[in-house]
Amino acid sequence: MVRSLWTAASGMLAEQTNVDAIANNIANVSTTGFKSQQNEFKTLLYQTLQTKTTSANGATKPTSAQVGLGVRNAAMETIFTQGELEQTDSTTDFAIQGSGLFAVTDGQGNTSYTRNGSFTWALNSSGGVSLTTSDGYPVLDSTGKAISLANTYVSSKITISSDGTLNYPDSSGNAKSLGIKIGVYQFQNPGGLEKEGNSLYQATAASGAAINEATSTAVTKSKLSQGYLEASNVQVADEMVNLITAQRAYELNSKAITASDEMMQQANQLRS
Amino acid sequence: MVKGLYTAYTGMLNEQKRMDIITNNLANTDTTGYKKEGVTNQSFGDVLAYRLKDNSTPGVDPHKMGTMSMGVQLGETYTDYSQGALKQTGNTYDLALSGKGFFAVQYTDKSGATSTMYTRDGNFGLSKEGYLVTQDGDFVLNSNGSKITLDPTKTTKIDSSGNIYQADKLVDKVQITDFADYNYLQKYGEDLYSTAAGASKQTSSAQVTEGYLETSNVQTVSEMVQMIDITRDYQTNQKVIQTIDNTLQVTANQIGKL
């Protein structure tokens, strides 16, 4: 009896985490470059109820009668599908089409990755301008260095090619390459990236090391679009359906607890 | 009289066990690849009943009255291996099986011993070393029974028969095994099944779908109906015990009283 109480409790706990993840997805429905998350569940260990079991026609079965002890959260999977591109009027907004990510540095040697391409040109310590995120983290180029230019460039005239190369118009107005390419990196298993907040991801053992699109020949290259931002890939209708399922599953488990409790109460009433 | 008390007790005990199994189904309504479980009940073996001190037929003592059963126990727990619905995730290493079959996993227990287990949960990933692993880091096995190594820098595609292609070249094949008799499968937990002695493998006709996961096949309505059934059966047995107790009370306290 106490077994079914704990089993149902594990179910309620798992569904609670499920609702947490769904709520976070819904909260980030307008976050640039957000990738939705999904809970994966696994069964807990099994216990033998009765060693000798017989099938309906009386034959002895090779396995014992077993009961599972509930459920646990196995993983929070990130769903890396493409979000739709939204047009903006800023020349420093970039969107990635494909599976690449931008690389940014926090200034202390740690590299993070992001799909949020809402950048700005900010003044740096050497008097020039650097391409940074809205939080001020410098964006890295394809060689892993922070992208910075002398302050003689008019930042609104800088355009990019679809591979990320920065161009600037010469005296006759023709775009010329500046020899700097915005770094785009891919991961073999993007689901393994660790989320660190602020739309940033960190490479982990599970995700594998970053693959530089500029130097690797094996990967399918992503395309960059200037003046666009990638919207969140959260599907509100899907999340609502998931929310209903999670809430109902939670309710079902609480019913199982009530039922177990009633049964225990009846056992208590045996001796009046 | 006291016989009935113990018979009703086995009834209550049995309903408790049924409740444990139903609750586990309810807890796993969202578990990837979960197959719902059920339980059958069985009466205790019949025993002969005798009537003692019956002098109606001289010379025959004790009188046989026929047989009766003294209670109930679990017959078997069974698993409904029917197909669960597929849900899209879009992740490369999420594999769903349609049809009868299992993925093979090399499971390492806490003491470090390894054994082959089977699962319907295709929520896989890639380890740092490039091995295809489950979420718990156990190795997924290929058709030859060895670990699957992939190049993390190349794009991966997996076709419906489990062939893994990297950069359009066939590199490996995920093992999909079926069993002649599912009665030889034992639940381990963690979505894994182990095999009992005597299990015979056969080739599987299951199809692999990449970017999908198989959902649990638990039907919540039928579980709820069963839960009502169990709680009421439990209550009935409890009433029987109370009735017998009342009768015993009368026997003990009121017989012979003036």
pLDDT at A1: 62
Decide if B121 and A50 are in contact by the 8 Å CB cutoff. Answer: no
Shared-domain flag, residues B225 and B203: no
Q: What is the pLDDT of residues A250-262, one digit of tens each?
A: 999 999 999 999 9
User: To which residue do tokens 């001190």 refer?
Assistant: B53
Q: Looking at the domain assignment, is residue B73 inside a domain?
A: yes
Query: CA B14 from chain center: how many Å?
Result: 16
Do B230 and B182 sit in the same domain of this protein?
no
Residue A7 CA from chain centroid, whole number? 29
Are B136 and B232 contained in the same domain?
no
Pick the closest to residue A187 from A112, A131, A137, A110 (CA basis). Answer: A112
Closest residue to B189, CB basis, from A45, A205, A206: A45
Write the residue in B31, B94, B198 that is nearest to A62 by C-beta: B198
Contact A269/B123, CB-based, under 8 Å?
Answer: no
Distance in Å, alpha carbon of B257 to nearest chain A alpha carbon: 23
> Are A160 and A92 in contact, with CB atoms under 8 Å apart?
no
pLDDT tens digit sequence for A112-136: 999 999 999 888 888 888 899 988 8
Both B10 and B47 in one domain: the answer is: yes
Q: Which of A2, A7, A18 to mutate: most B Cβ within 10 Å? A: A7
Contact A6, A70 (CB under 8 A): yes
Q: Is residue A217 classed exposed, middle or buried when 0-12, 13-18 and 19+ CB atoms within 10 A define those classes? A: exposed
Q: How many alpha carbons lie under 13 Å from residue A138 in its C-beta half-sphere?
A: 20
Q: CA-to-CA distance for A78 and A39, rounded, in angstroms?
A: 9
- Contact residues, chain A, for B40 at CB < 8 Å: 56
Say whether B31 and A43 touch across the interface (CB within 8 A).
Answer: yes
**Higher per-residue confidence, A160 vs B151:** A160
Beta-carbon separation of A208 and B73 below 8 A: no
Q: How many CA atoms lie within 13 A of A50 on its CB side?
A: 22
Residue of B18, B21, B76, B149 to mutate, testing the A interface (most A Cβ within 10 Å of its Cβ): B76
Residue A58, token pair as written in the block: 């009386």
Q: Cα–Cα distance between A28 and A35 in angstroms, integer?
A: 9
Residues of chain B with C-beta less than 8 angstroms from the C-beta of A18:
30
Q: How many CB pairs under 8 A join A and B?
A: 234
Residues B236 and B207 in one domain: no
Are B202 and B158 in the same domain?
Answer: yes
Q: Inter-chain contact A11–B155, Cβ cutoff 8 Å?
A: no
The verdict on B106 and B122 lying in the same domain is yes
Q: What digits encode the pLDDT tens for the residues B123-147? A: 998 887 888 999 888 999 999 989 9
Residue B7 has which token pair? 């018979």
State both tokens at A29.
Answer: 């429905």
Has residue A2 got a pLDDT over 90? no
Does the beta-carbon distance from A269 to B183 stay under 8 Å? no
SS3 state at B172: strand
Q: Say whether B75 and A56 touch across the interface (CB within 8 A).
A: yes
Are B126 and B41 within 8 A, CB to CB?
no
Among A63, A69, A192, whose Cβ lies nearest the Cβ of B196? A63
CB contact under 8 A, B26 and A50: no
Same domain, B145 and B162: yes
Q: Which residue in the set A39, A54, A77 is minimally distant from B76, CB to CB?
A: A54
Q: HSE-up of B190 (CA within 13 Å, CB side)? A: 15
Residues of A in contact with B37 (CB under 8 A): 67-68
Q: Is B258 inside a domain boundary? A: no
Q: Establish if B214 touches chain A: CB-CB under 8 angstroms.
A: no
Judgement on whether residues B31 and B105 belong to the same structural domain of the protein: no
Q: Which of A77, A209, A253 sits opposite B27 (nearest CB)?
A: A253
- The Cα–Cα gap between B18 and B23 comes to 9
Kindly state whether residues B38 and B107 are assigned to the same domain.
Answer: no
Query: B234 and B191 in one domain?
Result: no
Residues B120 and B225 in one domain: no
Angle separating helix axes A236-268 and A2-27, nearest 10 degrees: 160
Cβ contacts of A212 on chain B, cutoff 8 Å: none
**Cα–Cα distance, B76 to B245 (Å, whole number):** 32
Q: Which candidate from B20, B125, B154 shows the least CB-CB separation from A7? A: B20
Asked if B9 has any chain A CB less than 8 Å from its own CB, the reply is no
Give DSSP secondary structure letters for chain A: -HHHHHHHHHHHHHHHHHHHHHHHHHHTTTSTT---EEEEEEE--EEEEES--B-TTSPBPSS-EEEE--EEEEEEEE--PPPPEEE-S-TTBEEEESS-EEEEE-SSS-EEEES--BEEEEE-TTSSEEEEETT-PBBBBTTSSB-EE-TTS-GGG-EE-TT-EEEEE-TTS-EEEEEEEB-EEE-S-GGGPEEEETTEEE--TTT-S-EETTT-SSSPPPEEEETEEEPP---HHHHHHHHHHHHHHHHHHHHHHHHHHHHHHHHHTT--
CB contact under 8 A, B189 and A68: yes
Percent of chain A whose predicted confidence (pLDDT) is above 90: 41
Q: Give residue B45's domain range.
A: 2-80+221-253
* Under 8 Å between Cβ of B175 and B103: yes
pLDDT tens, residue order, chain B (258 aa): 678 889 999 999 999 999 999 999 999 998 999 999 998 888 887 777 777 777 777 776 677 778 888 888 888 888 999 999 998 887 888 999 999 999 999 998 888 889 999 999 999 988 878 889 998 889 999 999 899 998 877 778 899 999 999 888 899 999 999 999 898 998 888 899 999 888 889 988 899 999 899 999 998 889 999 999 999 999 999 999 999 999 988 888 888 776
Domain count, chain B: 2
